[in-house]
Structure 1
């Protein structure tokens, strides 16, 4: 009952992930990104430990496929997990265990990978990939939200969506964007609105952290 996408902006080097589901607080469990390293997704009877673990392996020099293979091999009951990963080279990997419930699917595209489980159509991840690839010049956050909306339009989830999350990592150890929507009747539309409000402030918040005097006005 979740669909998601992890992607990279080849132009800026940013990594990000976006996810939505019919249960609360999806952003606290499923989507992960690390500057200069990659982005990860972990869902379906979710083990939140696996996202950071996959990113740690990427940081140690593993490829996306090697990292997922290692996590699957070392994780008890990995048959319940659905995972995806993109690394700094734009390589992607995904895994859906034998116990992941249908409809389920995985889709890989240029600088992106998408997942879906317990969705209305197996075409949901492919629709997300197509939307993400449509405008490479757009900000990564906007591309991720567009992908989420396309997945919903392609069938979405079997239950009403209530939460969504967007995380983007740039050059710093803290997120460039970290937006979450919970207990909302239209979480994807609300996420899009939050991004429009946040976008003009994103660079300012980074500057405040790195050089406070640079943003002080007389």
Structure 2
């Protein structure tokens, strides 16, 4: 009961994930991102160890297709998993196990995988793929967030008793550093994708300030003053 867009940005080389689900705390399980190496995500019936193993194999130079074969061979319950893997050069592969819950499937595009399970239908992952491709002029993180919004708007998750709301969501991006370039998550909310958008837009206002005060702490203004300046700017608009 999850839908995901895993991708590598062809402009920046960053790797990232946009994900939304009825399950809670989904950001905890998005540990398969490593700058200059690639990205991996296992969902449906989660096996977090897959993500770490995939990154380690990618770092050794194995192709995403080979890594996927290794993950399946190493997991007796592979048919319950849904997996996406992207290499440092944008090669992408996807897998939807036969025992993941319907509708389950994926679309592989140029440098990305759109996948999901317990969805309203294939059109959900197709809508995510279209949204991601159509937003090529936007920043990578906005493309990821826009993709999961498109998945939600296309019908999102549908279980045996009808539509399932998104209770957690996350956008994570890694680049050339060991730390994340962006790590935003909503762990429990009845409109998690909307709440993630709200947090994203608010953080965008602070992003440059947080970066600059770390680079030049001696001349950085206080956060209280920064907030006051934001308020004055908004009032003047």
How far apart in 2 are the matches of 1:15 and 1:196? 20
CA distance in 1 between counterparts of 2:71 and 2:210 reads: 34
Is the 1:30–1:43 Cα contact (8 Å) retained in structure 2?
no
Note if 1:216 corresponds to 2:218.
yes
Alignment equivalent of 1:192, drawn from 193, 197, 218: 197
Find the counterpart in structure 2 of residue 176 from structure 1. 181
Task: Report if aligned partners of 1:17, 1:31 keep a CA contact under 8 Å in 2.
Answer: no
Which residue in 1 is equivalent to 2:14? 14
Q: Work out the CA distance in 2 between the residues paired with 1:67 and 1:135.
A: 29
Cα gap change, 1:18/1:217 in structure 2, threshold over 3 Å: closer, same or farther? same
Could you say if the C-alpha distance between residues 101 and 6 of structure 1 is closer, same or farther in structure 2, counting changes exceeding 3 Å? same
How much has 1:133 moved relative to structure 2? 0.8
1:109-167: CA deviation from partner (whole Å, max 9, x where unpaired): 22211111011112211111111111222111100010001111111012111000111
Q: 1:206 to 1:32 in 2, by over 3 A?
A: farther
Counterpart contact for 1:31–1:42, Cα < 8 Å: no
1:65 deviation in Å? 1.1
Please say if residues 92 and 110 of structure 2, whose CA atoms lie closer than 8 Å, have aligned partners that are also in contact.
no
* Further displaced range: 22-31 or 52-61: 22-31
Unaligned residue ranges in structure 1 (runs of 5+): none
Residue 8 of structure 1, CA deviation: 1.4
> Number of aligned pairs?
215
- TM-score normalised by length of structure 1: 0.92
Q: Which whole-Å CA distance do the structure 2 matches of 1:31 and 1:96 have between them?
A: 19
Tell me the residue number matched to 1:41: 41
User: Partner residue of 2:167?
Assistant: 162
Structure ID, larger Rg = 2
Secondary structure of the structure 2 residue equivalent to 1:176: strand
Indicate whether 1:83 and 2:88 are aligned: no
Instruction: Say if 1:110 and 1:204 are closer, same or farther in 2 by CA, change over 3 A.
Output: farther
CA distance in 1, matches of 2:175, 2:30: 19
Mark the runs of 5 or more structure 2 residues left unpaired by the alignment.
159-163, 221-237
Q: 1:200/1:53 Cα in 2 relative to 1: closer, same or farther (>3 Å)?
A: farther
> 1:206 Cα shift?
5.3
Give the Cα separation in 2 of the matches to 1:213 and 1:106: 41
2:89 and 2:76 map into 1 onto residues whose CA distance is 29
Indicate conservation of the 8 Å contact 1:17/1:32, yes or no. Answer: no
